[in-house]
C-alpha cells in the first residue's frame, strides 16, 4: 500500500525505537540482533539500494536479481561495520550511512556516468561529478536535477573555510535525509556545538546572497531556492 512519505518521515515511532534497541544490542555484542535488524528492516535498505542504482542509471543491474541481492547484502555489511558510530538522534542507519553504502555500491558495479537514461525524457544537467569522489557523491546526492546547485557549491567552496564548507554541505545533506535535527548530527561529526553549526550555515547563506547580488557572473543563482529568505 502506498504511504505518504517524506524521506524517513513516515517511519513509525516504534520503528525508530526498535532500530535503536537493535543497534544498541549489536554494538553491545549481540550479533543475533543484527539478523533481527535485517529481518525487520531489509525492505527499507533494499529500497535505498534500488534508489542508488537508479540514480546511477544502471537499469541492467536493477533487472538482475542476483546482483541486486549482492548489493543489498553489501549495504547491510556497511551498516554493521559502522554500527558503533550511529546515533539514534539522527537519521536511520541506512540513511546515515548513505554515502558509504553508495560508495560500496559504486565500487561493486563500476559506476559509470550516463548522460541520459534512454527513454525517461529527463535531460541530464551539464555538470557531472568530477574530482574528489567524496564530494562528487555529495553533490550528486544533493543535485536534485538543478545544475545551479553545482555553481552554488563551487562558489561556497571558494568563499568559505574548508571546515565551514564541509559543515554547510553536510547540513544540507542531513536535511535531505530527513534528519529532524541536522545541527546536532553535523555538530557531532565535526566537534562543533549545534548552535555554532546553525550560525555557520546561516552565515554561509547570508554571504552567498550578498555575492549573488553583487556579482553578475552569479546572476543565474538569483532566486535559487537555497538563497530564498
Contacts with another protein by CB under 8 A lie at: 1-7, 9-10, 25, 30-36, 38-40, 42-47, 49-50, 65, 68-73, 76-77, 81-85, 90-91, 96-103, 134, 138, 144, 166, 170, 173-174, 176-177, 185, 188-189
Q: How far apart are CA 146 and CA 176, in angstroms?
A: 14
Q: Which is nearer to another protein, 57 or 76 (CB)?
A: 76
Task: At 5, list the grid cell.
Answer: 512519505
Task: At 188, list the grid cell.
Answer: 557531532
Q: Which is nearer to another protein, 43 or 118 (CB)?
A: 43
Q: Which is nearer to another protein, 4 or 158 (CB)?
A: 4
Shortest separation between residue 132's beta carbon and another protein, angstroms: 11
Shortest separation between residue 104's beta carbon and another protein, angstroms: 10
Q: How far apart are CA 29 and CA 207, in angstroms?
A: 47
Task: At 15, list the grid cell.
Answer: 520503528
Q: Select from 93, 90, 97, 107 the least CA-distant residue to 38.
A: 93
Q: Which is nearer to another protein, 100 or 151 (CB)?
A: 100
Task: At 30, list the grid cell.
Answer: 549481540
**Longest pairwise C-alpha distance within the chain:** 59
C-beta separation of 185 from 179 below 8 A: yes
Q: How far apart are CA 164 and CA 158, in angstroms?
A: 11
Q: Which is nearer to another protein, 43 or 216 (CB)?
A: 43
Amino acid at each position: 500500500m502506498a504511504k505518504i512519505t517524506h524521506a524517513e518521515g513516515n517511519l513509525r515511532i516504534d520503528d525508530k525505537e526498535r532500530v535503536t534497541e537493535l543497534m544498541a544490542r549489536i554494538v553491545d555484542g549481540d550479533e543475533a540482533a543484527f539478523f533481527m535488524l535485517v529481518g525487520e528492516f531489509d525492505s527499507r535498505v533494499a529500497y535505498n539500494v534500488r534508489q542508488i542504482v537508479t540514480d546511477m542509471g544502471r537499469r541492467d543491474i536493477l533487472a538482475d536479481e542476483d546482483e541486486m541481492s549482492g548489493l543489498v547484502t553489501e549495504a547491510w555489511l556497511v551498516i554493521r561495520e559502522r554500527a558503533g558510530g550511529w546515533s539514534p538522534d539522527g537519521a536511520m542507519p541506512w540513511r546515515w550511512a548513505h554515502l558509504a553504502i553508495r560508495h560500496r555500491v559504486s565500487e561493486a558495479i563500476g559506476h559509470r556516468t550516463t548522460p541520459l537514461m534512454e527513454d525517461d525524457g529527463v535531460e541530464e544537467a551539464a555538470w557531472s561529478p568530477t574530482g574528489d569522489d567524496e564530494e562528487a557523491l555529495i553533490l550528486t546526492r544533493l543535485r536534485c536535477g538543478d545544475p545551479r546547485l553545482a555553481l552554488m557549491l563551487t562558489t561556497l567552496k571558494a568563499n568559505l573555510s574548508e571546515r565551514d564548507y564541509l559543515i554547510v554541505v553536510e547540513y544540507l545533506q542531513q536535511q535531505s535525509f530527513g534528519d529532524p535535527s541536522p545541527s546536532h548530527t553535523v555538530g557531532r561529526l565535526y566537534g562543533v556545538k549545534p548552535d555554532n553549526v546553525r550560525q555557520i550555515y546561516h552565515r554561509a547563506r547570508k554571504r552567498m546572497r550578498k555575492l549573488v547580488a553583487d556579482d553578475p557572473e552569479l546572476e543565474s543563482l538569483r532566486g535559487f531556492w537555497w538563497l530564498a529568505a
